[in-house]
Every structure is written in C-alpha cells, then in structure tokens.
C-alpha cells in the first residue's frame, strides 16, 4: 500500500522532504504547494485507508501522518519519469468521434503546461484514452492544439513508448467527459512492479539500472526453494548448499563414467577404461566407446566408434527386414514397411485380399462391374464403370484411362407443331441425373496425366425448337412440343446409385385468333434425405417468347418460367469421415440400415410460347386464310449435380483429373420463323451447369 501511495505522490508532482509539521496545510506548504481542495485530496485519503474523507480535522491528522510515512527513496528510481501538472482536472466541451483524427480538443480550462499528455475519461475501463498535445490557445475558446489521439498506454494496443496514433485506442467521447493530466502510460506499470504484479523489467535512469537500498530477498529468511529458470537469482541457501561445495564425490557419480578430477575450481571428467569409458575422438569421427568386442564397432588407436555404414557393413543393420537385424532408414528417410510384422495383414484389412489378382483394362475396352472387386494390382488404360460397386486394390491402382460413374443426360424437348396459324412453342429439355458414388480403396493410387476419375452430373437436354408460322385453313394451330424426359437415375449395386433428373416443361400451343399460349413452368428439383452429396444450384431457365403480329423477334406471349425450387440434401446421422463408414456407405436409423445417398436434383426450365395467328393480319393470306408467327424455343435443361468420390488410400499421386463437377447445360431451342410479315419466335435460354458434388479422402 505504501509503495502505491508513494508512487501516486511522485506522479502527482510532490517531492517530499523530512521536515516535521503540525498541520496538513503546513505539510503542503513545505513542498511549495497550495493545499488541494477536499475533492482533490479524496483519492490520496482513500489510499491511506480514510473512507468518506470530508477534510475534517480528525481525518486530516492521520492523513498527514500517512503522507509523511510514505516518503521513501524510491523517488530516485522514478525521477526519470516526467511529472504532470498537479491536480489538473477539467472537462472536454466538444464531443470526439470514434476513431477520429481531430487535432484540436476544446476544454473547460487550459493546463499550465503548454505541451504534454492528457487522459480523457480516466476512470473508465473501456473508454479511457491517452492523448498528446503540443500547444494551447484561448482563441475562439479554450482548446488544445497539435493533438495526437489514441496513444498506447500500458495494457492497450500499440507500443507504449511511441507517440503514434492507434486507431483501436480512439474512443467516442461526449462533451462534459473528464480530462486530466497524468503519466497514464507509465503509472499502472510502475504500480504493478511495486506490488509484484508484473513481469516487465524496471530500469533506472537512462536504462543504466539502479541501486537497491536493501538486499532483495524472496519471501522469508527460511526460504529453501531452488532457482529453476536461467534468469532466476540464486539465493544464499542455493549457494551454501549447492554452489559452494563444487563437484565432489558427494554430488558427482564415480560409477557411471564420470569423475571429479580434483582441480580447483573442481571440474568433472569422463572415466576412460576398457569397460565403461567414452570420449570424443580427436580425429573428428565422433563419440568413442572403450570396448572389448567388435561387430559393427570400428577401432582406431584411440578407441572404438560406431557409424551407420559400419553397422550395415558388419551385417548387423539393414534397410531390408531380416531376422536379428537393426532397421535403418532407406534413401527416402523412412523405415520400409516390411519391418512391420503385420503389414500384409494391414493391407488385406484396409485394401482387400487381392483375390482377383493383377488386372489390366486395355485401351479401347470398357469393363462394367457386377459385384465388389478385390484386385491385387489394377491398371486402367481403357474405361472402368464400377456400376454401383466398390473397388478394392491391395497394392497399386494406376489410372491412365477413365473410371467413371457419371449421371445420365436429360431428354431433348419436343419441337413445336406447325399449322395454318401461329407455330407451337418448343418444350424445355429435361435435367440430367445426378452423378453416382465411387468408392475406391487402394494402398497406392496413381492418376497419370491422361487419367480421369469422375462422377459428373448428367448433361441437360436441349430445348425443343419453336415451329414456324403458317398460312392455310381457318382454325388450325400448331401444338406445343412435349417436355424432355428426366435423366434416368443410376442403378444400385452394393452402394447407392443416384437421383433421376427432372422432366422439362411442355411448349405452348400456337393461335389463330391472337397471341399464342404461354409454355408450361419448369418443374422443381428433387430433395435427397440421408445424402452425402450436394444440393442443386442454378434456377431453371426461361422458354422463348412466341412471335408477335408484327415483324421482329419475340414480342408476343412470354415463354414459360423456369422453376427456382432447388433440391436440397439432408445428411445422415453418420458420415463417411472414418474408415468403417467410408467402406460401408450405409447409415442406420433405429433398427434399420439403408444406403448413404447421393446429391439432389435441380429444377428445369420453362417451355417456349406459341406464336400469334390471325386472318390475314400480318401475312399474305386473304379471306379465310390464316397467317401466323413463329413459336418460341424451349429452354435448355440444366445439368445434373455432381456425384461423390470416396477414396481410401495410403499414398495418392494425382497428375490427371479427379472430378465431381456438374455436367453441361442443354442448349435452348431455336424460335420458329413467322409467315410473311409476322414475327419470329425467340430462342429458349441455355441450361446451366449443375452444382459440384463431394469428395471424401481418407489417408492411412
């Protein structure tokens, strides 16, 4: 407590002597200072243990005694710290912005010091701010000039010794907040030092250190703890019991290849004899061991030493596993697997038995699996279609060709029909089905620059073309095209297949009494529960507008809208993040078991609108003849969402392509041509690429 009070007095600009006084007024007068107000004396009185200080005589007597007792030589140590103006405490009269860069601060009264440091809102934990100013003026109101806001203090952001602004330290302040002069950046640091609360070093003037008035001690004269860190001071107890004794038979072993050499000061040596001694060889060959036997230990005139090459040459160490040998790392820096007795068993456990043997799928051929397969080594130069079954390779899988489980393409939208009036609109193409699931477990996987492992989504179907407008008998219209079918779902094997795509939308019929009919709206995507793939992305696209009565493209009935409802994926309660679930690709619900499923299917686009039709209005027909505009093209189908690849391996080298991308979007259908001066139908919008699927890599 006295340390803190002494620091407070020093920082307040008081330099005490030792003259006795009978009153508090005399005490301050001895320092050449005016007696502070009661309010200004409250902080010091509180530190002296005087609560509810009101400046009463019975309070001033112990207050003065406390101040005098707090005089100590510590002021010599702290004399290098600049002392602020005593009891300067005012208020700011204008607000300050958060993170602001104001260089002028208006205050209710100016300090006597024309330069220095001030603290705004000093009693706030979160809003306290240290500033620097270089001038004061009363022009246009009392204000500080040359202000730098947000200086670093002890315990805040930034370098304490820097006068640079730190944005994080610039707080928002309201008019009326208190502003005082204080060595704010140092005072808490020194208080912590005096109370043993900080590990920051205290240094004297000019960083040349300082003298202790008393010899420092740990905690008590009976302390027997020993220093443990390099920077710890040694206590007298340590010196008396450990350091002073030196190296003697008491604290140096004489039976474990060390000995006290009997020198002054005492030193320790290594025992050298034929049974237990060792020392560093003068020839630079390393550590020598006195020994009676060879066997990988090389001998010189000064002793024996061991090297890796000598052990290998002596036949006692090897990179290749063998009975009674010491394992040595190969040129890869690793111990070969054959040193592990259960390597073969581990390979069989994780990567299959290899019962199918070594197999090569030659270039130009395609192999479609009908069961889980267990190869010893597998080379794919052609195409391997796992077809919903798992692939195990005990040793090495080399892919120079393709391993595929891609989704099926969506169907092409039907073309609009032609008649005497407006042409029918083309239908939208179907969405491709989702990519399937590939599960490959191989100790070593090598994908060359020509190799592909992929589960891409099926391509979207093309939109149907709008029909041309016609001229002919009254009452005849062109029918809208039939929707493209959905991409067919991939079939099941030992693991899940895939989700079918989404069917397209029919085109609108043409008309013979005005504008054609709008094409159907696209169909929503399909959700997947217990799925480990991706949800769909990308809205269905818009069908082309039907041709109008006047020449030009579109302008008639608008095409059918694409559906925007995406297919979503809900994950199962277990995921293939650990080997047993990655191998199984099944999930459990209560007492039932089911497949982990794949990705979700996306929505489709709208059908094209039918074209305008009427009696002789825009063509060359007369009487009862009809003329018509072209039908709009159907939207292209979106591609299917990419599938899933689960790969379990020890090493993977990929110089080719491992892909779970969505397929290509279908091309929108073309608009039909209007008869005579009738308008043409607009083309449908192209479908878009589906969402990317998911990959799961597990490496041993």
- Summarised one tens digit per residue, pLDDT across range 630-658 is 877 778 889 999 999 999 998 999 999 99
Edge-to-edge strand ranges of the sheet holding 613-615:
471-472, 626-628, 613-615
pLDDT band with cut points at 50, 70 and 90 for residue 94: very high
Q: Is residue 106 part of a domain?
A: yes
Query: Regarding predicted confidence, which is higher, 15 or 293?
Result: 293
CB atoms within 10 A of CB 32: 8
Q: Is residue 495 part of a domain?
A: no
Each residue of 357-409: pLDDT tens digit? 999 999 999 999 999 999 999 999 999 999 999 999 999 999 999 999 999 99
Predicted pLDDT at 426: 87
Which residue range forms the structural domain that includes residue 119?
Answer: 89-182
The token pair at 122 is 């000093």
Q: Is residue 631 part of a domain?
A: no
Percentage of the chain surpassing pLDDT 70? 73
Each residue of 484-512: pLDDT tens digit? 899 999 999 999 999 999 999 998 888 87
Confirm if 405 and 384 have CB atoms less than 8 A apart: no
Q: Is residue 176 part of a domain?
A: yes
Predicted pLDDT at 360: 97
Burial class (CB in 10 A: 0-12, 13-18, 19+), 286: exposed
What is the rounded average pLDDT of the residues 192-213?
A: 47
Among residues 219, 235, 236, which one has the least CA distance to residue 227? 235
Confirm if 245 and 251 have CB atoms less than 8 A apart: yes
Say yes or no to pLDDT of 316 above 60: yes
Lowest mean pLDDT across 410-424, 473-487, 664-678: 473-487
Burial class (CB in 10 A: 0-12, 13-18, 19+), 633: buried
Predicted pLDDT at 342: 52
Ramachandran quadrant class, 150 (left: phi over 0; alpha: psi -120 to 50; beta: rest): left
- The number of residues making up the chain comes to 700
Q: Is residue 165 part of a domain?
A: yes
How many domains would you assign to the chain? Answer: 1
Q: Is residue 161 part of a domain?
A: yes
Q: Is residue 157 part of a domain?
A: yes
Q: Is residue 517 part of a domain?
A: no
**Average model confidence (pLDDT) across the chain:** 79
- Which residues fall within 8 angstroms of residue 161, CB to CB, at 6 or more apart? none
Q: What stretch of H or E contains 363? A: none
């Amino acid at each position: 407590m006295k340390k803190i009070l002494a620091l407070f007095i020093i920082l307040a600009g008081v330099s005490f002597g030792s003259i006795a006084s009978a009153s508090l007024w005399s005490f301050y007068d001895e320092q050449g200072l005016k007696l502070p107000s009661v309010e200004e004396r409250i902080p010091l009185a509180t530190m002296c243990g005087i609560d509810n200080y009101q400046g009463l005589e019975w309070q001033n007597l112990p207050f003065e005694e406390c101040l005098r007792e707090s005089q100590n030589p510590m002021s010599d140590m702290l004399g290098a710290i600049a002392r602020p103006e005593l009891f300067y405490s005012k208020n700011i009269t204008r607000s300050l912005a958060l993170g602001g860069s104001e260089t002028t601060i208006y205050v209710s009264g100016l300090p006597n010091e024309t330069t220095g440091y001030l603290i705004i809102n000093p009693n706030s934990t979160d809003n306290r701010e240290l500033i620097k100013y270089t001038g004061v003026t009363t022009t246009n109101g009392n204000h500080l000039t040359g202000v730098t806001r947000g200086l670093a203090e002890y315990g805040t952001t930034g370098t304490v010794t820097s006068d640079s602004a730190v944005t994080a330290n610039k707080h928002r302040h309201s008019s009326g907040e208190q502003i005082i002069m204080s060595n704010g950046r140092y005072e808490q640091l020194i208080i912590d030092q005096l109370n043993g609360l900080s590990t920051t070093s205290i240094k004297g003037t000019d960083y040349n250190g300082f003298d202790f008035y008393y010899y420092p001690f740990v905690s008590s004269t009976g302390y027997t703890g020993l220093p443990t860190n390099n920077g710890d001071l040694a206590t007298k107890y340590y010196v008396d019991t450990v350091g002073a004794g030196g190296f003697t038979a008491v604290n140096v072993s004489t039976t474990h290849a060390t000995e006290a050499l009997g020198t002054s000061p005492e030193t320790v040596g290594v025992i050298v004899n034929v049974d237990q001694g060792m020392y560093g060889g003068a020839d630079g060959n390393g550590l020598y061991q006195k020994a009676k036997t060879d066997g990988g230990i090389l001998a010189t005139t000064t002793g024996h030493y061991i090297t890796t090459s000598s052990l290998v040459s002596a036949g006692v160490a090897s990179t290749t596993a063998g009975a009674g040998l010491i394992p040595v790392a190969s040129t890869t820096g690793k111990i070969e697997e054959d040193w592990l007795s259960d390597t073969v068993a581990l390979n069989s456990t994780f990567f299959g038995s290899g019962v199918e043997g070594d197999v090569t799928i030659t270039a130009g051929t395609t192999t479609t699996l009908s069961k889980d397969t267990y190869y010893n080594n597998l080379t794919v130069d052609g195409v391997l279609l796992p077809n919903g079954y798992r692939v195990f390779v005990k040793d090495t899988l080399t892919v120079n060709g393709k391993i595929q489980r891609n989704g099926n393409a969506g169907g092409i939208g039907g073309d609009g029909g032609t008649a005497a009036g407006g042409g029918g609109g083309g239908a939208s193409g179907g969405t491709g089905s989702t990519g399937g699931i590939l599960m490959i477990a191989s100790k070593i996987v090598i994908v060359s620059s020509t190799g592909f492992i992929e589960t891409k989504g099926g391509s979207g179907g093309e939109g149907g073309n709008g029909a041309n407008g016609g001229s002919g008998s009254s009452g005849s219209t062109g029918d809208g095209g039939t929707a493209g079918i959905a991409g067919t779902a991939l079939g099941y094997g030992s693991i899940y297949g895939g989700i079918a795509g989404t069917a397209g939308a029919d085109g609108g019929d043409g008309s013979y009494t005005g504008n054609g009919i709008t094409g159907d709206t696209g169909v929503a995507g399909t959700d997947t529960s217990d799925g480990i793939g991706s949800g769909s992305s990308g809205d269905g696209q818009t069908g082309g507008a039907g041709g109008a009565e006047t020449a030009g493209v579109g302008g008639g009935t608008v095409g059918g809208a694409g559906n925007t409802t995406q297919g979503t994926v809900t994950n199962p309660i277990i995921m293939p993040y650990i080997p047993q679930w990655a191998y199984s690709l099944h999930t459990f619900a209560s007492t039932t078991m089911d497949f982990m499923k794949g990705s979700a299917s996306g929505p489709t686009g709208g059908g094209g609108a039918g074209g305008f039709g009427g009696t002789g209005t825009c063509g060359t027909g007369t009487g009862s003849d009809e003329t018509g505009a072209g039908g709009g093209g159907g939207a292209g189908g979106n591609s299917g969402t990419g599938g899933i690849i689960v790969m379990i391996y020890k090493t993977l080298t990929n110089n080719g392509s491992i892909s779970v991308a969505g397929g290509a979007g279908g091309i929108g259908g073309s608009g039909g041509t209007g008869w005579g001066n009738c308008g043409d139908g607009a083309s449908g919008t192209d479908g878009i690429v589906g969402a990317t699927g998911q990959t799961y890599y597990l490496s041993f």
